Amino acid sequence: MRLVLLGSTALIAVAIATPVAAQEAQADAGAADGITEIIVTAQRKEESLQKAAIAIDAVSGDDLVSRGITNATDITKAVPALSLPSVGGNIASIFIRGVGNVTNSSYNDPAVTPSYDGVVLGRGGGVFGAAFYDLARVEVLKGPQGILYGRNATGGAVNIIPARPEVGRNSMGFNLSYGNYEAVDTDAHVNLGVSENSALRLGAAYTTRDGYNIDGTDDARRGSLRAQFLIEPSRDLSLRIGADYTHVGGKGVGGSYVGGFIPGPGGYTFVPSGLGDSEGFNSPASNAFRSRSLAAPAFAFLNPMNADQRQDSSYFGVNAELNWQTGIGKLTVIPAYRESTDDSLFYGPAFNTAHTKEKVKQASFEARLSGSAGMVDYVLGAFYFNEKIKANNEYNQEFVLPILNYAHKTNSYAGFGQLTAHVTDKLRLIGGVRYTHDKKSIDGLITNFITFCGGPPPALVTPPASFGRGCAAPGAMPHYPNFLNTVDTINWLKANNWISATSTDQPNVQVFPLLNGVGAILKTYKPVKDTRGYSRVTWKASAEYDVTPDNLVYATVESGYRAGGLQMTESRTSYKPEYITSYTIGSKNRFFDNHVQLNLEGFIWKYRDQQITYFTVDTSGTLINSNENAGKSSIKGFDVDLVVKPTSGTTLGAKVQYLDSKYDDLHLFTAAPRDNFGCPFTFTGATAGGAPVKDFNCSGNPLLFSPKWTLNLSGEQVVAVGDSLELVANVDTAWRDAQWGAFEYLDFERIPAYWTTDASLTLRDADGTWALTGFVRNIEDKRRNLAPQAAPIGVAVGHFSAPRTYGLRLSGNF
């Protein structure tokens, strides 16, 4: 901690010690050719990114287009702190500096809060991934946002801000690109000045692409529409109303088998699959690998995938923003409603096959009053959030079929305030406080069908004996198809002569002996019904000092809170809130007449009861995705962000992040067959599914997705071609140090260090009316396993980044 603070302080001292006279000596005319300003609203007011004394990265809409960033995953090319692993399904996983959660469960609150057009998204999902067109900017706030932001933002926030309607202007624009894998990516917008005080802006986007994998997965089929109407009756009053719709289709995120684990007396032996990174889970070679894999608790060989993966998800939202300048300050009111439906099949971590059928409704309301009273600026506000989830899901593990039916509700409200005291013209002191109350309820039913070799515990036969009983013989054990209810499952078992024809479904635990005598089916029945409330006061204290008009230093201490929750598991049906206290010092600087920008940040984050998500074994012996609380974790490091513009046509950038992250107290609990962890263990004395539960002590390990070093380099060169044309060359390259991608801490889950490089060459009209760009992404043509998983069926899987892609893009603005 001391080294981080001392090192960061030294960097800041070097920055602000640059002679001010060297800046003043530059000609004023040079400022026009300097570094472009980005205006942000992260602190609920419009200000230059360089004047915002917070840890923030921002990318403008024009920069997003020039870099070819058309989805959420690619924003990591501009923000070193950000990681977005994709493991299947439509739940967005967002990590900032190792803080986030990987999950396929819709009721888990994210630690990094996504928002769209000022509206907090309870579920990131399709809107977060599909909103990257016709944008004003994307803002990434790093660290807890415990005062001015909505819910649970202990790790940070990602704000997607669309371009707003412009009164008095008629314009339109488009981007159309075509590339390999039959990729078509297009978007367009039109701005209409309807009257002297109103405007309408319409936008649309469509993306289609063949899959990167042999089985057709890792494809894209996505369409989006957006409409906004702005009316400004007077200079003190404005009302903007927006609506958006997105549909996500295709097959969706895929993966490939990396290997399998064979249990033995001395532990598990890893056997590589020999498959390439582009097989997918449903190729002929992958299904042959599945058929050679022995799975518990039936101890029989797996079948090929029983269905093609598909996505069918829709997202709809309406929102408004009222701004009214009153005698006591500016009143901002933001009501919003969002709704999503999902009816998708996905392979996830090698399920066969999961089916999610969910509907989510979200309503929110925020009101803020901001203004000044003497030497004090103030922001006062209230926030309300209501969410209802109704789901009927199954996660087919072939010999284990969990069927979940549940309704989950959240009510959250908060009151907050922040004061900024202008002590002098250069010094400002800031204090803020927020009270948040969350109430959650769940009402559901878990039904697990579990096929055992021999019989359920305690009659369970050990794996070697299964061959003697014939469990591993072809056709000896039932492999579950995809059913969303127990009646259909039992009727299928009866119709195929696996269980007695007189079997009926009862609302309790049942045992169905197999008619062939080699095993039995245990059906567990667990109603889950609970309501819990969580409350917390979070606070912030900060100081800002303007060394010069272009040099700012700041220091902040801030706390954060993420509500506890309820989950659909048979044993641990709830988990506790998490808490963070963060310490930040930073400096933002412009030198040499706006031609050099150097921003520095040092940080220390301290977590208590941090929420994590991992696969474990429930009391019934079922493999589940469970939320737990890690006792303590700490994250410390620094960021350096340098931009140099030596000439009007040359811009160079470098971003460096150093992270030292560690779980100070992390204990994970599970039992066979899910007891393959790379951490020392002790026995707890408890059992799950007849197997002893182990306590794996993973304390001292780094947080997931927290590379020690991260480096982003960029360069742009603009060359005039005649009087009216320009040639623009762009190169972006990023290096990520080695990092861990899953909580088992197995060797294959360690993501090796890697480089990824993109480049483009653009010919454009000097006045910006049109541009033609040739681009190539991932020049190295390496698919990286950026989301490894130890799958529930006992194999190692990977979810890989895109291969080399290239194409042409035509853009126009009129």
In a domain, 219, yes or no: yes
pLDDT for the residue numbered 124: 63
Residue 458 banded pLDDT, cuts 50, 70, 90: low
In a domain, 802, yes or no: yes
Mean pLDDT of the region 518-538: 93
Bond from prior residue into 353 cis (ω within 30 degrees of 0): yes
> Sign (positive/negative) of CA torsion 46, 716, 132, 100?
negative
In a domain, 768, yes or no: yes
In a domain, 499, yes or no: no
| pLDDT, tens only, 670-715 | 888 788 999 999 999 888 877 889 999 999 999 999 999 999 999 9
Amino acid identity for residue 53 in this structure? A
597 pLDDT above the threshold of 70 = yes
CA distance linking residue 557 with residue 624, whole number of Å: 37
pLDDT for the residue numbered 18: 39
Mean pLDDT of the region 402-412: 95
Residue 459 banded pLDDT, cuts 50, 70, 90: low
In a domain, 481, yes or no: no
CA distance linking residue 6 with residue 355, whole number of Å: 52
**Tally of structural domains, the chain:** 1
- Picking from 610, 602, 631, 603, the residue whose alpha carbon sits closest to that of residue 560 is 610
- Range from 21-35, 113-127, 205-219 that averages highest in pLDDT: 205-219
Mean pLDDT of the region 11-37: 49
CB count in 10 Å sphere of residue 813: 16
Torsion of CA 479, 482, 487, 488, to 10 degrees: -90
Mean pLDDT of the region 607-617: 87
Q: Which domain holds residue 737?
A: 2-168+183-447+527-813
22 pLDDT above the threshold of 60 = no
Contact 637, 658 (CB under 8 A): yes
| pLDDT, tens only, 65-76 | 888 787 777 888
13 pLDDT above the threshold of 70 = no
pLDDT for the residue numbered 242: 97
In a domain, 176, yes or no: no
Mean pLDDT of the region 467-481: 86
Low-confidence winner among 359-368, 502-511, 569-578 (lowest mean pLDDT): 569-578
pLDDT for the residue numbered 121: 87
Any idea what the Cα angle at residue 122 is, between residues 579 and 602, rounded to 5°?
40
- Dig out the tokens for 812 from the structure: 């126009």
Residue 127 banded pLDDT, cuts 50, 70, 90: low
27 pLDDT above the threshold of 70 = no
Mean pLDDT of the region 56-61: 90
CA atoms within 13 A on the CB side of 507: 2
pLDDT for the residue numbered 688: 81
Q: What is the mean pLDDT of the chain?
A: 89
Residues contacting 766, CB < 8 A, separation 6+: 720, 723, 724, 725, 726
| pLDDT, tens only, 271-295 | 999 999 999 999 999 999 999 998 8
Percent of the chain with pLDDT over 70: 92
CA distance linking residue 300 with residue 749, whole number of Å: 26
| pLDDT, tens only, 757-789 | 999 999 999 998 999 999 999 999 999 999 999
In a domain, 676, yes or no: yes
pLDDT for the residue numbered 779: 97
Better-scored residue on pLDDT, 205 or 617: 205
Say which residue the tokens 């009659």 belong to. 459
In a domain, 455, yes or no: no
Residue 470 banded pLDDT, cuts 50, 70, 90: confident
Amino acid identity for residue 400 in this structure? V
Better-scored residue on pLDDT, 87 or 8: 87
Residue 104 banded pLDDT, cuts 50, 70, 90: low
DSSP-derived secondary structure letter, 462: P
- Picking from 391, 390, 393, the residue whose alpha carbon sits closest to that of residue 355 is 393
- What CATH number has the domain bearing residue 63? 2.40.170.20
